[in-house]
Amino acid sequence: MSENVARRGFLVGGAALLAAGCTSNEPAASPTTAAPAPAPAASGNDQPGQKVVIGFSAPAADHGWIAAIAKNAEATAKQYSDIDFKPVEPTNDINQQISAVESLIAAKVNALVILPNDGQQLNQVALQATAAGIPVINLDRIFPDKLAYRTWVGGDNYGMGVAAGHFIGKQLKDKGVSNPVIVEIQGIATLPLTQDRSKGFADALKTYGFSVTAKQDAKFTVETGNQVATSLLQAHKKIDAMWNHDDDQGVGVLAAIREASRDEFVMVGGAGSLNAMKEIQSGTSVLKATVTYSPTMASSAIKLARLIAQGKGMSDLVEKQVPQSITLASETITKDNVDKYLELGFES
């Protein structure tokens, strides 16, 4: 989600709760990383209201998921005539991001949406914003101090692992496989988010009587994904299932699989990239599913910032204020439902 390539937060998957719908029954004509148009709210929350200035800060787009985060945030802000969107220059430098957020505090924005490079290291500047009366919507990588943010919104890392584990477990049980060889390609092994994903995966597999045979981390990069997959394929002459935590690094993983001419196993990806969805849709790839960690969470964060700044609650809830935290579900995309998700896929 700090390591610059680790884009996910210290918590984590799925389609946005508030952001645009992901349940269209028709395939999207032209999938993009832009946020879909907001559905009208019964309470009129989407009607123009008090003008609010929303500041936005995120890491530099060094891979598809982060690029989609920024595009979704901007696209959603443009859907509202009452939002003045003020993004600062994206950066992977901690000190530069702190300075950028400080500039937004000095500008007295009405709300701040921050995806920190590192929640721990930006915790203090988020506290400064809160002390200045600016509500902070903490996106993805969480600040350790709850006083540093008004609302956190992000995905479910543990849930990603559970979803992947259940898909693989059921596939292998249905085939009558016993003592399967299951390999796992992580992002960055030292990150809590990765550990949560691995724990969810192990816990779900355990319910089928299975366990992970081997796992290795691939640093969230295409190149390392290729190297790690090549190594695992060489070490295991027969594999029954593979879970790759991240669809961006999965580009390299799939290239290694094709190079080795291996197709005896079922593979599950993670995050929900457009290229992964197209692989699934083809029906000819070892990649049979991906579990979501959708960048549409940035669209939700902008919507939440607007509601909080305007003193509104969520129209579908009884409570008068936006919740303190929202964890998005990790959804499983397969050939059976991929058409519904294409519009939300991001380019790797």
**Mean pLDDT, rounded, for 132-145:** 96
**Co-location of 186 and 277 in the same domain:** yes
If asked whether residues 128 and 144 sit together in one domain, one would say yes
Q: What are the φ and ψ backbone dihedral angles of 110, each rounded to 5 degrees?
A: -80, -25
CA dihedral 290, 287, 227, 221 (to 10 degrees): -30
pLDDT for residue 316 is more than 70 = yes
Q: Residue 336 falls within a domain, yes or no?
A: no
Residue 21: pLDDT over 70: no
User: Backbone phi, then psi, for 48, in 5-degree steps?
Assistant: -55, 135
Examine the domain organization and report whether 143 and 75 are in the same domain: yes
Q: How many residues appear in the chain? A: 348
56, 143: one domain: yes
Please give the backbone phi and psi of residue 87, each rounded to the nearest 5 degrees, phi first.
Answer: -80, 150
Q: Tell me: do 241 and 259 sit in the same domain.
A: yes
* 305 lies in some domain: yes
pLDDT reported for residue 193: 87
How confident is the model at residue 213, as a pLDDT? 98
% of the chain exceeding 70 in pLDDT? 88
Please name every residue paired with 243 in a beta bridge, in sequence order, or none if there are none: 184, 268
Distance CA 174, CA 76 (A): 42
- Same domain? For 182 and 116 the reply is no
Looking at residue 174, its amino acid is D
Of 292, 318, 342, the residue at which a domain comes to its end is: 292
The pLDDT of residue 43 = 52
Asked whether 136 and 148 are in contact (CB, 8 A), the reply is: yes
Q: Is the domain of 103 the same as that of 115?
A: yes
Answer for the pair 164, 291: CB distance below 8 angstroms, yes or no.
yes
* Domain interval for residue 305: 52-154+295-327
Q: At what angle do helices 247-259 and 64-78 cross, to 10 degrees?
A: 140
Range 63-67 average pLDDT: 90
Q: Is the pLDDT of residue 321 over 80?
A: yes
Q: Cα(306)–Cα(71) distance, rounded to whole angstroms?
A: 17
pLDDT at residue 31 above 70?
no
Q: Are 244 and 264 in contact (CB under 8 A)?
A: no
How large is the average pLDDT for residues 57-78?
94
pLDDT greater than 90 at residue 54 = yes
> Residue 99 is part of a domain; what is its CATH number?
3.40.50.2300
For residue 23, the tally of other CB atoms under 10 A from its CB is 10
The 10s digit of each residue's pLDDT in 37-51 is 444 444 589 999 999
Residue 145 and residue 112 share a domain: yes
- CA–centroid distance for 233 within its chain: 27
Mean of the pLDDT values across residues 252-281? 98
Give me the mean pLDDT over the 101-109 stretch.
98
Could you tell me if residue 343 is inside a domain?
no
Q: Could you report the per-residue pLDDT of 187-216, keeping only the tens digit for each?
A: 999 888 899 999 999 999 999 999 999 999
Domain boundary among 292, 312, 335: 292
Instruction: Give which of 112, 60, 125 is closest to 85, Cα–Cα.
Output: 112
Q: pLDDT band at residue 325, thresholds of 50, 70 and 90?
A: very high
Total domains in the chain come to 2
Q: Is the same domain home to 81 and 100?
A: yes
Q: What band does 22 get if pLDDT is binned at 50, 70 and 90?
A: very low
Task: Examine the domain organization and report whether 143 and 71 are in the same domain.
Answer: yes
DSSP state of 63: S
| Assigned token pair, 106 | 């000095």
What is the overall mean pLDDT for the chain? 89
Residues 6+ apart with CB under 8 A from 188: 3, 5, 6, 194, 217, 219, 220
Per-residue pLDDT of 170-183, as tens digits, reads: 999 999 999 999 99
* pLDDT over 60 (residue 260): yes
CB 252 within 8 A of CB 274: no
